[in-house]
Every structure is written in C-alpha cells, then in structure tokens.
Amino acid sequence: MQLFVGLGNPGSKYAATRHNIGFMALDRIAGDHGFAPWRSKFQGQLTEGRLGGEKVLLLKPETFMNLSGQSVGEAMRFYKLTPADITVFHDELDLAPGKVRVKQGGGHAGHNGLRSLHGHIGEDYTRVRLGIGHPGRKDLVSHYVLHDFAKADQDWLEDVLHGLSDGAPHLAAGDSAKFLNALALRTSPPRSSTSKPKAGTKTPEPEPAPEPDTRNAMQRLMDKFR
C-alpha cells in the first residue's frame, strides 16, 4: 500500500491558488481513476483506490499547509507505513511553471508544508515537485503562492494535471521515468511528421513525369546547334 499526499490549504478561498496545486493533482487522479468518495479522516480528506496493480491512498491534509505533517503522520502510523511508502505532491517555486521533477529525500528548501512533514515523518519520502515559478522577490512569495493561478496559466496547468493522472500508475509502480514520460506526452507532445491540408484547401496535383528522350546521340548533338 502507498500513500499519495497533496499539499494545500482547505476551503474555497484557497482552492484555485498556486499553493494548492498538490490538492488539484490528487483531485484529478481520484476522478480519472475511479477512486472512492472522499471522507474525513486523519485531519484531512482521504480516499482509496488502485493505480495499476497498486493499492493507493490519497490524502489532502486539512490542517493548513504549515501543519501538514500532523495529518500525514497520523495516516502513516495507522496504516503502518514508512516514509518510503509516501509520495508528496507540492508546489515548487524553484521550477518554471509547468515543469515537474521527482525527488527522493532531501531538505525542505523553506517550504512550510515540507518543513512540517520533516518534523513528523522525517525526510525519506518521495516528492513530486510541481513548478509554479517565482515572483522574482522574496517579499512577494507569500502573496504569490496564495493567489489564484492566472488565466494565462490555465492551458499548461490542465496539461500538467492530465499528465500527472496519466502517469500516476507508473509512479505507484516505482517507475519515475515512465511517469515523467507520460507527463511529457501531455505537456510537450511530439510534432507529427506529416500535416493534413486544411478543410476546403485543394491539394495540388503532382506534375507529370517528363517523357523519355528517344533521340540518338547524333540527333541530340544537332539539336544543340539549332
């Protein structure tokens, strides 16, 4: 059994903010893969289902971001899991919008949700770092992450969420390369080598092949001087 955790803040006020992209990721996975209805448990919202051959729990802590570790710690102890069984989806200021990276262990880099997790379960869990970009100045960070995604962000955000859902079974199976590949097919699809003509456009007919030259060598030489 595995536990996927999405970080965010509870309530409609924060639902569309950059800080809540972790919640958005779990909502998309749950909806696309037929998970059970969400229920209140472990100071959060919990659901369960299967991703490929793996049983997976999805948890959205409702303790607010700074106390996320309380909820995750309760769930981990109840199901007798280890940090190695836990994957956390969270916003990442140090990645450009739409970029996603998978990381095993490491520091919290000042992220308050990860800081809380470190205090309750340690650092040996997997992180799915969801790039939201940086506002440019440290004093603008708080306002930036608690502000809704801009309209201009909606296209890449939808592609990322779809890609996360597509790749979730690979992530549950422990194959981060296939997970990231499934994501890339959504965010950077390969260009087709052929292009179809637009509707109403007449396709030009191919030019006829030239007729074979049946002249003998003497005739070709004489024709050059005419």
| Coil/strand/helix, residue 56 | strand
What distance in Å separates the CA atoms of residue 60 and residue 18, rounded to the nearest whole number? 15
Three-state DSSP state, 2: strand
Q: Which residues are annotated as catalytic? A: 19
Q: Which tokens sit at 176?
A: 């981060």
Say if CB 117 and CB 152 are below 8 A apart.
no
Could you give the count of Cα atoms lying within 13 Å of 88 in the half-sphere of its Cβ?
34
SS (H, E, C) 93-126: CCCCCCCEEEEECCCCCCCHHHHHHHHHHCCCCE
d(CA 171, CA 199): 41
Cα atoms in the Cβ-side hemisphere of radius 13 Å centred on 137? 3
Q: Three-state DSSP class for 60?
A: strand
Give how far Cα 99 sits from Cα of 67, 129, 188, 224, Å: 26, 8, 11, 66
